[in-house]
A and B are shown apart, each in its own frame.
Chain A
Amino acid sequence: MTLVDSPPAEAATQGTRVARRAFLVRELGIGLALVLLIAVTYAVNPRFLSAQNIKDLLLGSTILAILAVGQAVVVITRNVDLSAGSVLGLSAFATGAVFVAAPGLPIPLMLVIGTALGAVLGAVNGGLIAAAKVPALVVTLGTLYMFRGLDYTWATSRQINAADMPPAFLRMGTETVLGVPVLALFAVAVLVAVGYYLRHYRGGRELYAIGSDPAAARLSGIPGGRRVFAAFVASGALAGLAGVLHAARFGTIDANAGLGIELNVVAAVVVGGVAIFGGSGSVYGAALGAVLLTTIRAALPVLGVNPFWQDAAVGALILASIGLDRALSARVGRSLREGKAHG
């Protein structure tokens, strides 16, 4: 046999460089698309970047971004959480109900309560999926209905109004620090914390490992059930937090809060470059995806496009994103292989 020597180091590193660049490109790409969109819209109408409008954009993105971060954690493990919108709804209504019952409750405690409620609901999902070994899509579709039904049952067509909630809490929904809404700061804090955990902690890396190859994860002794459970608890907790923020932002809550938002969240994650079959992508991308989706909806009317085109544009964006991912991974795969080929 002609002996194949180890590949030249240069070739290998070149393939690597292309791979690394592609991952960067993916998130940069969304960022770039976002910047371009904003620039064009600004050129058409400079008022698009008024302080108020920026604030609105950030506020609009906040809740979707937090949900997208939680969803990304789950999708990275090759699962999906369709119940996020219903968890948000329950938590939002709980926020109102708790304030009606205990008007003097400190706001931080309310945030903890909402997050904890979400975590419990997430634990229901995660428990069923990890312990009974049933597909996440089916379980969370089921809990999508169940949680929403509980929400309706609890709300019994009541509506909780701004007057029922402490003014300080509602102020939190609109207040800004240096022009940045407080709610958006929540989203950034969540994003950085989760992003850092996924990148720098064993538990985080194991989530990627599980999504990348579940069988290999098992052979490596990764506690798959426990990790997937934790991912669903995290997703639930973030949806719960988003519910509290939803209540603060809108002031009026009925049982319909967050209705139908789940597919939007999955869309944000996909647009953000998280592979729907797990193993790759980042929460930063997912959050950027959420911001991009929100910005498109806001920018189209400014650009003079009939606002009825919004959904269609979002759909086209999703298709373009997964198409781009496909093309990129094909290119990376080729360059990694070619790096080897002439060894």
Chain B
Amino acid sequence: MAGLTLNHIYKRYDNSGKKKKVKNDFAVKDLNLVCEQGEFIALLGPSGCGKTTTLRMIAGLEEITDGEIYIGERLVNNLHPKDRNIGLAFEDYAMYPPLNVYGNVAFNLRAKGVDKSEIDRRVREIAPLMQIDDLLEKMPVKLSGGQKQRVNIARAIIREPELLLMDEPLSHLDGKARQAMRTEIKRLINKIKCTTVYVTHDQLEAMSLADKIAIINFGVLQQFGTPTEVYDDPVNEFVASFIGEPPMNILETTIIKKEGTFFFTFSNSNLEIAVPQRYYSVISDGFRCKMGVRPMDVLIGGPDSQGTPEKIATFENLGDERRIGIHVGDILMMLITEDEKRYKRGDIIKLEVRGEKTHLFDITTGDRIREKK
């Protein structure tokens, strides 16, 4: 059963009052998503891509220009937000300062006139889940950011909503609290099995939490898939460079043919990489495109390596791993290694690129060029 269905959703903000004509007038354009019951979906994209607008339309806080939204089997287009049976957790905690944590968590149920003993039962049930059992008597001002966000999420799920909507709930927290909270959210959703839509601009958060990620740019859905799918099999250059840190190395290349073998070549560089055989049907001698390869698929060759000798431009020792940058034309190509060796700028290494891990992208549209099946 579908937990949430978005059917050809459009959103256009009315700009008639403004002097300046906005070029891309659709904030969200023909968005289709089906989220299964109990699935955790991340809406991911750069700021201004329309992900929060989408979330607000699902919540009913924003009108829809065109399209249909179903929560479960119900068409909710014309339902008031309070009748949509959703739980909301935003970046700001927006707690009631005169109420203690218990009062804040219980507030919505009290407003609905739920029986007092029932409220107490539910608060006591959720508190350990969010690890706020020791905080129930505290006032909001006494809480840390991480604790406030726990209370905030507890407040959203206590209503036992059909759909949980979260908008960047971790972006206020510092690194450590964020990491801990990520783990808690992941466990919580796994336990309560509530269909969840989660908005973030942080690809790491999306990758670590979501069952499926919808990557949006300029209001248009680019790709919808599991974290592994979007990482290993991106549909275009945008997705390829947005997912992963450091991002995929993407370089303009001219493919040349030498003695029956095709090679990627790059302007102002000696680097040559053998093109995987599977692409032979879609390329030709002199074919121009972009080549993408992830930093972990670029390797340092051993002493007998056939790899191209290249000079190290940057060497960053990050403790857990080391990153090396090599100039290929104007582009700094990054590689990651857990090798313990300490290099210096100017050292020569033999560079090997795992050809089978390369992706091809169209030079103008950025779309993936795939081998013919």
A interacts with B: no
A residues with CB within 8 A of B = none
